[in-house]
């Protein structure tokens, strides 16, 4: 087991959860971020990260750890092409070269966006040729390619959308809508989407850190069973002690409504399918909850 793990981007939704989980599993954690906060556990220390769009020497941080989980980057749909390239691609390439020199295991958290656009009519697998559809996905794929070329010991993860306490993005929107005390017209939506709980993500990271067979490999990470929007709403309302309250109206009407409000991209991310199962990771013994 890696004794000390450097987690970059430790102040984000994923990073905060991962740092706490690793600490609970007995790892020593260096939580690195641009907004370093006071550690909440005895086996967590913080470290500052600069703006990764600028040149940065990773060596001092890497000298303190056995492995690094690289989360830091520019989030999806929030920046310009050049910023994606500088932070998501080139900064990661620099980290990979430093990890090679220091002989550290680099776990790179890429994205399913490196493999596909927001929906796919075919089930995605790691063996399928990657076809990113936007600058974010292309920058993640470029980072993956730089890591493979660096000579570093690596594992690349392509998680689907992650949900849990502090979640962001479309799952967060669905859960907020599900909290409204009104019937919802989404009972007819049938498209299956792969999602990933933050707990399962964290357990996958621990497996990667402790299983040498994952070295040099790329893995899709998701909950084993895809869900529909109806499933997500029904689950959330069940937690609230309420019935699903779903009404089925024609899917095409909902799609046209989304388009009329300028939300065609959102429809692609919730109303169309994207199934990416973690078959390869499960075959190595990963046991998600």
From first to last of its 289 residues, what are the pLDDT tens digits of the chain?
Answer: 458 999 999 999 999 999 999 999 999 999 999 886 656 678 999 999 999 999 899 999 999 999 999 999 988 666 678 889 999 999 999 999 999 999 999 999 999 999 999 999 999 999 999 999 999 999 999 999 999 999 999 999 999 999 988 887 778 888 888 898 888 888 888 999 999 999 999 999 999 999 999 999 999 999 999 999 899 889 889 988 988 888 999 989 989 998 999 989 888 888 899 999 999 999 999 999 8
pLDDT value of position 176: 87
Which of 87, 124, 120 lies closest to 221 in space, CA to CA?
Answer: 124
Same domain? 261 vs 123: no
pLDDT value of position 284: 96
pLDDT value of position 101: 97
Domain range for 82 is 4-163+197-221+277-283
Question: What are the E-state strand segments in the chain?
Answer: 4-8, 28-33, 44-48, 67-70, 105-109, 153-159, 162-163, 196-197, 217-221
Taking the C-alpha atoms of residue 225 and residue 214, their distance in angstroms, rounded to an integer, is 22
Q: From residue 211, how far is each of 1, 90, 96, 155 by CA, in Å?
A: 8, 28, 20, 11
| Count: domains in the chain | 2
Q: Is residue 114 domain-resident? A: yes
pLDDT value of position 81: 84
Label residue 65 exposed, middle or buried (CB < 10 Å: 0-12, 13-18, 19+).
Answer: buried
Q: Is residue 288 domain-resident? A: no
Same domain? 116 vs 185: no
Query: How far is CA 232 from its chain centroid?
Result: 18
Same domain? 203 vs 247: no
Same domain? 36 vs 93: yes
Q: Is residue 80 domain-resident? A: yes
Q: Is residue 259 domain-resident? A: yes
pLDDT value of position 41: 76
Same domain? 210 vs 67: yes
Q: Is residue 206 domain-resident? A: yes
Label residue 133 exposed, middle or buried (CB < 10 Å: 0-12, 13-18, 19+).
Answer: middle
Which of 270, 273, 247, 248 lies closest to 258 in space, CA to CA?
Answer: 270
Same domain? 173 vs 84: no
Same domain? 180 vs 213: no
Same domain? 76 vs 217: yes
Q: Is residue 289 domain-resident? A: no
pLDDT value of position 70: 98
pLDDT value of position 38: 58
Same domain? 93 vs 182: no
Query: How far is CA 46 from its chain centroid?
Result: 22
pTM over 0.95: no
Taking the C-alpha atoms of residue 20 and residue 22, their distance in angstroms, rounded to an integer, is 6
How does pLDDT run across 130-170, given as a tens digit for each residue? 999 999 999 999 999 999 999 999 999 999 999 988 887 77
Q: What is the DSSP letter of 78?
A: S
């Amino acid at each position: 087991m890696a004794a000390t793990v450097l987690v970059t981007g430790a102040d984000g939704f994923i990073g905060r959860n991962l740092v706490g989980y690793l600490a609970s599993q007995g790892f020593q954690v260096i939580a690195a971020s641009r907004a370093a906060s006071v550690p909440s556990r005895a086996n967590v220390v913080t470290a500052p990260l600069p703006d990764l769009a600028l040149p940065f020497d990773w060596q001092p941080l890497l000298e303190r750890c056995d492995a690094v989980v690289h989360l830091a980057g520019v989030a999806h749909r929030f920046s310009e092409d050049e910023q994606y390239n500088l932070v998501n691609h080139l900064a990661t390439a620099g980290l990979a070269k430093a990890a090679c020199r220091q002989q550290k295991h680099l776990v790179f958290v890429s994205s399913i966006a490196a493999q596909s656009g927001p929906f796919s009519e075919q089930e995605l697998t790691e063996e399928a040729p990657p076809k990113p559809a936007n600058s974010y996905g292309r920058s993640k794929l470029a980072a993956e390619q730089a890591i493979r070329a660096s000579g570093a010991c690596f594992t690349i993860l392509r998680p689907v959308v992650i949900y849990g306490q502090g979640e962001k993005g479309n799952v967060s929107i669905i859960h907020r809508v599900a909290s409204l005390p009104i019937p919802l017209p989404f009972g007819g939506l049938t498209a299956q989407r792969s999602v990933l709980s933050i707990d399962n993500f964290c357990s996958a990271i621990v497996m990667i850190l402790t299983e040498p067979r994952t070295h040099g490999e790329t893995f899709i990470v998701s909950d084993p069973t895809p869900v529909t929007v109806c499933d997500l709403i029904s689950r959330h309302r069940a937690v609230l002690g309420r019935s699903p309250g779903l009404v089925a109206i024609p899917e095409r009407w909902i799609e046209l409504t989304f388009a009329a409000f300028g939300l065609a991209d959102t429809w692609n991310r919730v109303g169309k399918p994207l199934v990416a199962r973690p078959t390869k990771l499960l075959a190595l013994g990963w046991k998600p909850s």
